[in-house]
Amino acid sequence: MSSPYFTLPEFRYTKPKTIEEVVKVLDEYGENARILAGGIGLISFMKERLLSPQVVIDIKGIPELRRIEYVEGNGLHIGAAVTIAELQGFLGERVEIGNKYRALSEALPQISDSLIRNRSTLIGNICEALPYMDGYPPLIAFDAKLHSVSVKGEREIPVAEFMKGLAETELKTDEFITHVTVPEPPEGAVSGFTKFSSHSEFSATAIAALIRWSERRDERIARISYGSVSDTPILLQEAGEIFRGEGSIDSMIDRVVETALSEINIISDLYATADYRRRLIEVLTRRLLVRLFKEVIG
Amino acid sequence: MGNLIGSRIPPIDSLEKVTGTAVYTSDIDLPGQVYLKLVTSPYAHAKIEDVDYRKALDVPGVVAVFTGKNFPYRFGIYVGDRDMLAIDKALWSGHPVAAVAAESWEAAERAAELIDVEYEELPAVFDVEEAVGPKAPVVHEKLGEYRVFPGLFKPVPGTNMANTFRLRKGNVEKGFEKADIVVRENDFFVPFASHGYMETQNAIALYRVDGTYEIWTSTQSPFAVRNLIALSLGIPMHKIVVHHTYTGGGFGGKAGIGWEPLPMMISKKLRRPVKLVLSRAEQFRSAPLTASFKANARMGMTKDGRIVAYEARFLFDCGAFADYTVNVARTAGYMCGGPYDIDDVFCETIAVYTNKAPTTAFRGFGHPENHFVLELMMEKAAKALGMDPVEFRLKNLLKPGISTTCTGTKLRKDAGRPDIALERAAKAIGWSEEPAEPVEPWKVRAKGIAVLVKGPSQPPNAAASAMVKFNEDATIDVIVGTGNMGQGTVTSLAMIAADAFGIPLEKVRVSPFRSTDSMAYTWQTVGSRGLFTDGQALMKAIEDAKDQIKDVAAQALRVSKEDLEVADGKVFMVGKPWINLKLEDVVMGYMYENGNSIGGPIIGRGHHIATQCTILDPETGQGSPTIFYTFGATGVEIEIDVLTGEVKILRASQAYDIGKAINPLLVEGQAIGGFVMGMSRTLFEELRFDERGNMMNPNFSTYYMVRTKEAPDDIRVELIETPQHDGPHGARGLGENVMVAVAPAIISAINRALGTNIKRLPATRENIVKTIEGQNPDLLERAMRALRLGR
Amino acid sequence: MTVNGERRAVEVKDNELLLDVLRDKLYVKSVKAACWKGECGLCTVLLNDLPVKSCMVLAMEADGADVKTAEYFIKNGELAPVQRSFIEHGALQCGFCTPAFSLAAHHLLQRNPNATREEIKEYLSGIICRCTGYKQIIEAVEDARKYYQK
């Protein structure tokens, strides 16, 4: 968490022009090669001597990875080298798309600070894989998929299943993430994001929710995701069932809160105690859901 | 006289600063310099068995490795307990045990990683109360051998007591007998905190073959650095030249002595320039912080609201070096009664060693601590009396010319007006009106207010000097010793000089550079003393220069010196201004038409020394400790989200009787900056240690200091100008006072809003919610209910 | 690299940071350092006209790039309007963070000359100032908006 060092360990810097070249280096060096996009996580980890790769692969020279695109019906495609600021700009300028992915639009300006966001990438945020990474909850709420590639081929990993533990991910040492796809949200769905910190820069609790409300119960959808409250970000699986069940909206919100508090393994750390996180989970969940329901049914 | 005094003028060094071209010590590189990297102890208390640095020496670019064995010297201003590299044992987790000198940072850091230190862990003491007990491990076994400032401090060898100070005014037990109501409170707490100045500590040293040491250092106190090095190393002072330039913040943390001796001693061994710059993690873990503090207090009042007795007990957790903190603790003690007129007062204040990071002065110097206790006691007392807190305070404030302070000296007539400061601070936040209802049902609002007094805490003989040096074109170099860390004093001094001679400010320069061999002496730039002491010295230097100018002009103009006046860039005859000489024609000497000349280059000089301060009585702490007091008050209106503990400062007021605002723009800057620093420490800042004494949050992400997002928009600065006759233009100092009353003002507002009794800092969002849960669960329940019904 | 309008050629190692190359190899000291890990923002430079924290950028990543620090403006004519405003408002004390604030604020106002107070606060929240309490800084930026609104 804190390094006495000014300088970085030695490594070889390379800036390939194609994904194939990246894959080749990864195949050769495995965990001794690391991807550099925004560099925020990698440079920090190297300063702290948590990582000392032999090769650092700068992927910013690969045009495909800088792609950011929305295709009606397919959703959002965000390349691994797209900075958060660029993504903010993209969603900000296209109001309709920004609204469609509201939870993401709301989360982005709350990730780190504006100067860091001029470098850092959403995929970097995900790959850093620390519990308080704010990129997770909105991507999980939208059921986003990461796309990785290695010499063996390509595969797709749901963001919800990507983080395995502290700085541990599903990613093999010979593969890397090229982009993330965020599917088209269900017709009529609304979403939002909220977070709160106590006495550190990092979130003590972060929540993203996507809700589709309908008079027909089987058409209702609820995806609620929590970050910063447990070892890994969590999708509250039960939320959908709760909203498809019986009862008033108020009682459903009550049950979501109860379930979140009982099902999540809430941690205590430097940024907040478990007790305080419990309070925040309840307060923030209610505030967010109330806001979203106001939107859908007034 | 000109019309500069009282003008809103931007700092004279603004252009250099806004373009980044201002040179700070960390920007200085000397040809051939080597870079120093520290290796620090991971143990809180451990004997150093062996330092194996053979592998480190093999790293290309490494020049040498040093350990505590190389430098068996201790340094310090009040208690000389500081070593540069741990001597024999490491006293805290973070204590430097070795230093690598190398041709680059990279080589130094690589080598530092390869140094193997063999430790034998010793029992450590972290709790301050345990540390004063009989069974505690002793942090400094050789305490009895350390050099101590004579007359002021008495460390107790064989214990962890770095100093004990007792203040006895009147008879406190008798005082309590007179009381109708007594309130008491235990367990006040202020945590370890970082100064958080942006430029980390650094120093570059160069040993010259003639035996002179030159040291560039990011310090508040070049002369103190020189003095303290000379005292510890036995080097004649003229062989040590300490250079000071722009300093990237100090706030007390760069007072006294810093790291200068380390590069200096290494430079002599290597015969090369040596540069040390602390990383932020090293700054947090290895450099002095501000002490943690615990207190209990008791206050007795009569029914009609007069305070008749006050008793307080303070424990300062000084960490491993108490060097400067012994005086912080002592000052907190002798000023324990703050701005109030109380006949019977007792205070005991103990400075204690523990195996935590070392500590030093911090803006406010014991006053944020003692006022935190005092002002929260005032709140409690007002409540017990059923009186309005402002009215209760007004009733008990010191009255200039009438009251005696805690140390038993009569407050001078022109000391300033605490009552007006309080009234103005209260009015600015609309004290008499109830706060408006918050929009959301889970939010509550309240106001809080606190009063303060503070003067410089310095040895009774602390002195200052100044010179006014004229150039051929009658521009002026003002030569002062006071440091430049952004507090604005140099701008005010330049204004004073320009004003006195009636010349444009652009014609006066105060160099940003200070060197102990060529600049005017000043003891230190601390304690809000700079403008007052160096300003007075400058006023005298101006008078001296004018006197010399008049001497020459009187002779040249063949008039009586008494009839001459210097103003508007001229020396002229009073009443006959057409009989005059331009300053240019006098300041390098006056030449008659035939070439005969008189006079010579004008250098005015002046000095200041406190003439009425005393060493406080060792038994009672009575005496005259300081050269001025600046009174003030802070008010706030806050809104709290009961459910999350988030505190918003809706408006704040800062009112100070500063005698004269030489430059209101800069005064306001101090008041606003001090408020936010105080707010940051009140709501966010705490250095936390694990059970083995390791600092858990040595970085800005987890040691959170307020940023633009939390900065309040509405801070009203109220300046009161009751001139103090010996201050420059009547001015008193302000730099530290501005954060003294912030914490009690905010905390009392929080307590009023929530019905709680918070007395520990910081009141983080989490701590606030926890306190409501414990002390006012009904409020929380109501708020939760409102939230549940929120739809 | 182009640094403050001048072409500068410098040999760097792969593991060197832009911050260190600027300060220690090119002697561009108008970029400051205070945390060395992306938290305080004092090492902000304009990298291809975008404000970034240079302690979080490899020098190699800036190969061929345009780098501007706070001295760029006066070196190449006159102060940025927001720098003038900082001076007028007394929005600086020790001055160590001022170069970073002035660069970030200049960029913000160039991009959005109508930035609201909240937007200004948000944009500058990655830079720490311990002296001023931010109020005069924020007001200086607000006041400078008029110079950027053309």
**Interval B264-306: pLDDT, tens:** 999 999 999 999 999 999 999 999 999 999 999 999 999 999 9
A6-53 pLDDT, tens digit each: 999 999 999 999 999 999 999 999 999 999 999 999 999 999 999 999
Question: Could you say which of B686, B699, B791 has the minimum Cβ distance to residue A2?
Answer: B699
Q: How many CB atoms lie within 10 A of CB A95?
A: 10
Tally Cβ neighbours within 10 Å of residue B473: 11
Confidence grade of residue B2 (pLDDT, cut at 50, 70, 90): low
Does residue A297 carry a pLDDT above 90? no
Residue B780 lies in a domain: yes
Give the separation between CA B523 and CA B514, rounded to whole angstroms: 13
Residue B496 has pLDDT above 70, yes or no: yes
DSSP states along B447-486 = EEEEEEEE-----TT-EEEEEEEE-TTS-EEEEE----SS
Chain B residues inside the 8 Å CB shell of A205: none
- CB < 8 Å to C37, chain B: 280, 699
Contact B496, B480 (CB under 8 A): no
Residue with the two structure tokens 């501005």: B738
Q: Confidence class of residue B791 from pLDDT cuts 50, 70 and 90?
A: low
Q: What is the 3 state secondary structure string of chain A?
A: CCCCCCCCCCCEEECCCCHHHHHHHHHHHHHHEEEECCCHHHHHHHHCCCCCCCEEEECCCCHHHHCEEEECCCEEEEECCCEHHHHHHHHHHCHHHHHHCHHHHHHHHHCCCHHHHCCCEHHHHHHHCCCCCCCHHHHHHCCCEEEEEECCEEEEEEHHHCEEECCEECCCCCCEEEEEEECCCCCCCEEEEEEECCCCCCCCEEEEEEEECCCCHHHCEEEEEEECCCCCCEECCHHHHHHHCCCCHHHHHHHHHHHHHHHCCCCCECCECHHHHHHHHHHHHHHHHHHHHHHHHC
* Selected residue of B681, B782, B787, B791 to mutate for chain A interface (largest A Cβ count, 10 A): B791
pLDDT classification of C20: cutoffs 50, 70, 90? very high
Mean pLDDT, all residues of chain B:
97
Confirm whether B715 is domain-assigned: yes
R_g of chain B, CA atoms, integer Å = 28
Closest Cα of chain A to C38: distance in Å? Answer: 7
Nearest-by-Cβ selection for C87 from B15, B248, B715: B15
DSSP B335-380: TTTTTB--SEEEEEEEEE--SS--EE--TTTTHHHHHHHHHHHHHH
B427-455 confidence digits (pLDDT tens): 999 999 999 999 999 999 999 999 999 99
Structure tokens belonging to residue A22: 């990246």
Whether the CB-CB separation of A266 and A230 falls below 8 Å is answered with: yes
Amino acid at B546: K
Residue with tokens 């032999």: A54
Task: With 0.80 as the threshold, say if the pTM is over it.
Answer: yes
Report which residue type is found at B522: T
Q: Residue B668: which domain range?
A: 289-458+614-785
From-to residues of CATH 1.10.150.120 in chain C = 81-148
Give the minimum alpha-carbon distance from A35 to chain B in angstroms, rounded to a whole number.
23
Q: Which amino acid, residue B196?
A: G
Over 70: is that where the pLDDT of A2 sits?
no
A71 interfaces chain B, CB cutoff of 8 Å:
no
- B171 touches A: beta carbon within 8 Å: no
Is B269 inside any structural domain? no
Calculate mean pLDDT across residues B578-585.
Answer: 97
Under 8 Å between Cβ of B367 and B438: no
C14 and A60: CB-CB below 8 Å? no
- Smallest CA–CA distance, residue B775 to chain A, in Å, is 16
Alpha-carbon distance B176 to B182, whole Å?
8
Confidence at residue B150, expressed as pLDDT on a 0 to 100 scale: 86
CA torsion through residues B471, B474, B479, B484, sign: negative
Mutate to test the interface with A, among C24, C42, C46, C61 (most CBs of A within 10 A): C61
Q: If you ran DSSP here, which 8-state letter would residue B533 be given?
A: H
Please report how many Cα atoms fall inside a 13 Å half-sphere around the Cα of residue B496, on the Cβ side. 33
Q: How far is C125 from chain A (nearest CA, A)?
A: 6
Position C77 confidence tier, pLDDT thresholds 50, 70, 90:
confident
Residues in chain A within 8 Å Cβ distance of C53: 115-116, 119
Pick the closest to residue B175 from B333, B264, B83, B299 (CA basis): B299
Q: Of B121, B143, B163, which marks where a domain is finished? A: B121
- Cα(A52)–Cα(A44) distance, rounded to whole angstroms? 11
Residues C86-136: tens digit of each pLDDT = 999 999 999 999 999 999 999 999 999 999 999 999 999 999 999 999 999
Helix spans in B97-239 (H): 105-113, 128-131, 172-177, 222-233
pLDDT (0 to 100) of residue B647: 98
CA distance A219 to A227: 26
Q: Which residues of A touch C15 (CB under 8 A)?
A: 7-11, 13
Section B313-342 average pLDDT: 98
The pairing of strands B344-352 and B307-317 is: parallel
Model confidence at A174: pLDDT above 80: yes
B74: domain CATH number is 3.90.1170.50
Position B713 pLDDT exceeds 90:
yes
What's B62-84 look like in SS3? EEEEEEHHHCCCCECCCECCECC
**Alpha-carbon distances, residue B316 vs B294, B372, B451 (angstroms):** 7, 14, 23
Whether pLDDT at A1 is above 70 = no
Interface of A with B in 26-55 (CB under 8 A): 49
Among candidate residues C82, C66, C62, the one with its CA nearest the CA of residue C74: C82
CATH number at residue B623: 3.30.365.10
- How far apart are alpha carbons B572 and B106 in whole angstroms? 64
B475 is a domain residue: no
- Whether C52 and A119 lie within 8 Å, measured CB to CB: yes
Number of helices and strands (H, E) in chain B?
Answer: 18, 31
The average confidence (pLDDT) of chain C is 97
B770-779 pLDDT, tens digit per residue, is: 999 999 999 9
Last residue of a domain, one of B121, B150, B173: B121
Strands B34-40 and B274-277: parallel
CATH code: domain C81-148 is 1.10.150.120
pLDDT at position B612 = 87
How many domains is chain B partitioned into structurally? 2
Q: Which of B422, B590, C111 is nearest to A89 (CA)?
A: C111
Q: Report the alpha-carbon distance of residue C58 to residue A13 in Å, rounded.
A: 9
Residue at which a domain ends, from B68, B93, B121 = B121
Amino acid at residue number C146:
K
Residue B789: pLDDT band (50, 70, 90) is confident
| Interface A-B: count of C-beta contacts within 8 A | 91
How far C78 CA lies from chain A's nearest CA (Å)? 25
H or E stretch at B202: strand B202-207
How far apart, in whole angstroms, are the C-alpha atoms of residue A214 and residue A208?
A: 20
Burial class for B202, CB neighbours closer than 10 Å (0-12, 13-18, 19+): buried
Q: Mean of the pLDDT values across residues B373-391?
A: 98
Assigned domain for B534 exists: no
Interface contact flag, A198 B765, Cβ < 8 Å: yes
Instruction: Calculate the alpha carbon distances from C64 to A37, A161, B54 in Å.
Output: 18, 40, 41
What is the CATH code of the structural domain delimited by C2-73?
3.10.20.30
pLDDT bracket for residue B489 (50, 70, 90)? very high
Q: How confident is the model at residue A3 (pLDDT cuts 50, 70, 90)?
A: confident
Chain B residues whose beta carbon lies within 8 Å of the beta carbon of residue C135: 672, 676, 711-713, 715
Residue of A nearest to C51 (CA): A115
Can you give the pLDDT at residue B409? Answer: 94
